[in-house]
Structure 1
């Protein structure tokens, strides 16, 4: 059985976590919510209504204890009664379970909205919050995002991928021509540009279907490991180039690579990118990088997994670029923060080359280099994990 690419082996399957929007916004802004929230009272979710909050509360941290009294799942929002911004949420409340709905509110009028999985939507009467917030900033809240809001970013990303595929084909053809004339030294030099041209497309691999495994699959899980005749793609060519495979034996793989890229290029216009995939990939690309590239686990002999990691950061930057308007509308400080963290990781990676500018193998990093890269990349991945939740469609909010 063919093993899928490292991407497919580590698909970070995100679901909306049972945390309030307040927590997401607070992390994005670099602040923490106070634990001394004023109890807002119990809220019972029923098919007939969403409970009764107190008519008045004081500004500051507040927390409601919400119990699902129905037989279906419920999503519960704390919303601004005036402009429908979301200030806290419980995304997936199961029957008979109780969870806190907590946030920090400024003066204003608010309500609680319950959206049941059977389509029922109930909203409480509005309650008034008065006074001033002390000790911590009030959560700004943000507009919930309908599915259609992702149409523009998805189309922009599709166009970017479409424009990048000819470069991938050109570099695959150069690699094939090297092997065809028996110049394996040139092929080793030209393998990395071909591989990086594919790795920069990280957010699209799920829409590539079986092409992804054919282009970037590793040997793990194959009956004969790296010598298995069914292993194809860039990593298979990498293994052959750095393990003394002859040019005639490699040629079948480089020819197959060119054919696969041609087929992908022809097929891609008919493939769809799931709108929900794009925010997910903003985090997942570098989550994969932590597991497969920084460790060197995906390396098949070239010692260039840090170059692949850098290409992954470029792919992540493109995803953030097309998502930036939606992120900025919901967490204004987050895009700039992610951009700075991304630049720091890129600086770490380029600094970790040898004096000649050649990428060194990941296992050759010094302890100090690895600690710096792990720390900076870890912070970035943690903050990127906010994006899928931030841009998840929120039905009925």
Structure 2
């Protein structure tokens, strides 16, 4: 489907999760006029703070001023492990920012990473004592550490693409034969094969819009001649359009899937995509599936949501080795939440939790037909999951180790 811009969503997410994860607040310097000014420059990183008399554990507020030519990212770290306890991203020359966090006793330093590649680290400073509300450090994450998850996820997608092509060909054959009843039955499994690949749509490029785009934003709406793919076929199948209209759409779908498969080996996958998708897949499901906004007549948006749950599990499976050391409790909690959502979705079928009932829509209840209780269950389960998953992109944000 046509989704919100990735970078805008990421920016909004980071602002919320930095505070939750590291206990960091960043603002204009005027918010904390009494805080000491710490200089960041080409020749040093926070020398004033490191040179101060050793202090005590507790709440820390620093005003950062970049006097260098280039923007910088500033990390408050434990020198021995490299764990990050606070950070200010995109510190611009001449624009002071405030760093705020709560530290336990221990040894700390400031690390400044400039956009031109320079890295400066201050001497360490020791704080004494303990506090109950100190933030936990987050292990650094060099960008290369996301290479293995990307490779694993691309292998998952590569293995799934032949099934998508086979299902698309069955749908095309139904339309070519004029068997619209059979086409309505075969449309859903083909569409779900695509929806389970939710983390790959950025790698699919323009093929995503051609294969799974909605009519939103098109000049002609549902009558726009440029609209193609699964949702266009869905609209025709459930709005009385004949085989003569739908046949070209079926063959076009198969061609687009074939071209996408041929293109995928050479398509880039941004390492930062996977942590974002772990939250974004279900965020989109809340916006488009649970509301029924992407339903064009089949009433199967909840089946799509269930496929999105499966897609989320696939993404998290590739990230387990990185998430667990940073937050051991997160994945068990998320797994329980995904299972609860799956159970709530199964309860919304004609034969709850059972196999297909043989109908074209596989027994799924359309979002508009949900009872108040069912909607509350799904809203609660999905909302809880999104809150848990919102920490993943920041937890796995690239942070230098040296």
Q: TM-score range with shorter-chain normalisation?
A: 0.7 to 0.9
Q: Distance in 2 between matches of 1:11 and 1:102?
A: 25
Correspondent of 1:389 among 390, 394, 399 = 394
User: What do residues 91-111 of structure 1 show as CA deviations (whole Å, max 9, x unaligned)?
Assistant: 122333343323333332111
- SS of residue matched to 2:3: helix
SS at match of 1:91: strand
Once residues 127 and 4 of structure 2 are traced to their aligned partners in structure 1, the CA distance between those partners, rounded to angstroms, is 47
- Measured on the aligned residues, the alpha-carbon RMSD in Å equals 2.5
Structure 2 vs 1, CA of residues 187 and 26 (structure 1 numbering), >3 Å: closer, same or farther? farther
CA distance in 1, matches of 2:275, 2:103: 27
Structure 1 unaligned spans of 5+: 28-38
1:290 paired to 2:286: yes
Distance 2:166 2:373 in 1: 38
1:364 to partner: Cα distance: 1.5
Q: Give the match for residue 267 of structure 2.
A: 271
1:253 and 2:249 correspond: yes
Deviation digits for residues 139-173 of structure 1, max 9, x if unmatched? 33122111111111001000000000111111111
Preserved CA contact (<8 Å) 1:20 1:89: no
* Superposed displacement of residue 306, structure 1: 1.0
Q: Counterpart of 1:367?
A: 372
Q: 2:316 aligns with which of 315, 320, 337?
A: 320
The correspondence for 2:20, drawn from 23, 33, 36, is: 23
In the TM superposition, 1:114-125 aligns within 5 A as 114-125=112-123
Superposition deviation, residue 284 in structure 1: 1.4
**Is contact 1:20-1:88 (8 Å) kept?**
no
The two structures have a TM-score, normalised by structure 2, of: 0.87
Partner of 2:157: 161
- How many Å separate the matches in 2 of 1:50 and 1:20? 25
Corresponding position: 1:82 with 2:80 = yes
Equivalent residue number for residue 73 of structure 1:
71
8 A contact 2:45–2:122 mirrored in 1: yes
Matched with 1:35 is none
- Worse overlay, 355-364 or 259-268: 355-364
Q: 2:23–2:101: 8 Å Cα contact kept in structure 1?
A: no
Equivalent position to 2:130, from 129, 132, 146? 132
Contact 1:56 1:128 in 2 (8 A): yes
Q: Does 1:311 align with 2:307?
A: yes
Query: Which of 100, 105, 118 does residue 107 from structure 1 map onto?
Result: 105
SS of match in other structure, 1:23: helix
SS of the residue corresponding to residue 83 of structure 1 reads coil
Q: Quote the offset at 1:396 in angstroms.
A: 6.2
Structure 1 residue aligned with 2:90: 92
Match of 1:50 in 2: 45
- DSSP 3-state at the match of 2:45: coil
Q: CA separation in 1, counterparts of 2:346 and 2:234?
A: 22
* CA-CA distance at 1:22 after TM superposition: 6.8
Q: Deviations over 1:64-104 (max 9, x none)?
A: 33333445322111111212111111112233334332333
Distance in 1 (alpha carbons) for counterparts of 2:247 and 2:296: 18
Change (3 A) 1:59 1:139: same
Figure out how many residues of one structure are paired with residues of the other and give that number.
381
* Contact map agreement 2:138 2:395 (CA 8 A) in 1: no
1:197 counterpart = 2:193: yes
The answer for unaligned runs of 5 or more in structure 2 is 25-33, 355-362
Question: Would the aligned equivalents of 2:113 and 2:119 in 1 still touch at CA under 8 Å?
Answer: yes
Q: Which has the higher contact order (CA 8 A, sep 6+)?
A: 1
The counterpart of 1:6, out of the listed 2, 22, 29, is 2
CA contact (8 A) 1:111 1:127 kept: yes
Cα distance change on mapping 1:102 and 1:223 into 2, 3 Å: closer
Separation in 2, partners of 1:181, 1:8: 37
Single out whichever of 17-26 and 117-126 deviates more from structure 2: 17-26
Equivalent residues of 2:23, 2:100 under 8 A apart: no
Quote how far apart the aligned CAs of 1:203 are.
0.5
